[in-house]
Structure 1
């Protein structure tokens, strides 16, 4: 039986839970987060969130277990596109949280924001994340060599994108 998750917009009161996820040893190595980031940074991000950031959380048993969202580009000629971010609490990985968040984010992009393009970066050896993104229509677009420092080693990062063009006509 698969678990269902409550997906909702992030609230400033979620800062401690999101901070726990972002700084967990099983999460931060595959992100651009630093291992010892203070809680105040996350609190500031949530309290001062610009209108172009659409940030969602997944909750199970009353706890935030994942976070995802879109950063819609603000430039006049790129407003049809956004960058995607996604993190899942290390003890909830592999339990469908990422899929639930991806369904919500792609629905938001396609049906409410009218986005044509979503793009993301993922570290080259994060096979589970790459498989999830491919399941939701993301395709490999390029490789940024030695883009990210992880545990003292420069690692390659893959660029992936998802196009929703031409816009699907719904009957």
Structure 2
């Protein structure tokens, strides 16, 4: 089995990132966007990557054999009253789950956040039934801070609650 490399994203990753997003969106209901509404192009992905780099956000990928299999993106608060905050999201292709990739990516995120003079808190939102992800977040010290009831409404009419989770660093 070849090694999985965790590294900072590059603009040249846009086509592989697009492919990754299409895969993870097709695999389940744990992401906010539905596959039907995802219309990004390679150029859109390039613009998104460049924007994150310019904003000094933290964006890393997990790569195996030249294929992106995971993404973690963290955004700094942009207003004075929330510049001490950093929100993040993560996606990993199902066949690469339970291999420690998410843990490695979150470790890198927390190391980055601790080195930043402004960031005091890292937080996320996660669907309440995504127990596997919640377990990982709790392992890293994230705590449930609130719940948004029936916050997500799926195409079939069913709902999902969403947890707010965070930790001070």
Q: Same fold (TM over 0.5)?
A: yes
- 1:163, 1:20 → 2: CA distance? 34
Shift of 1:82: 0.8
User: What residue ranges of structure 2 are gaps of 5+ in the alignment?
Assistant: none
Shift of 1:31: 0.9
Shift of 1:110: 0.9
What TM-score does the superposition give when structure 2 sets the normalisation length? 0.85
- 1:48, 1:102 → 2: CA distance? 21
Specify which of 49, 72, 76 is matched with residue 46 of structure 1: 49
Specify which of 145, 149, 163 is matched with residue 158 of structure 1: 163
> Aligned with 1:160: secondary structure?
strand
Residue in 2 that maps onto 1:68: 72
Matched, 1:104 2:108: yes
Whether the aligned pair in 2 keeps the contact of 1:66 and 1:87 (CA below 8 Å) is yes
Residue in 2 that maps onto 1:128: 132
What TM-score does the superposition give when structure 1 sets the normalisation length? 0.84
Residue in 2 that maps onto 1:169: none
Shift of 1:111: 2.0
Residue in 1 that maps onto 2:90: 86
Whether the aligned pair in 1 keeps the contact of 2:83 and 2:118 (CA below 8 Å) is no
Count the aligned residue pairs: 162
User: What residue ranges of structure 1 are gaps of 5+ in the alignment?
Assistant: 165-171
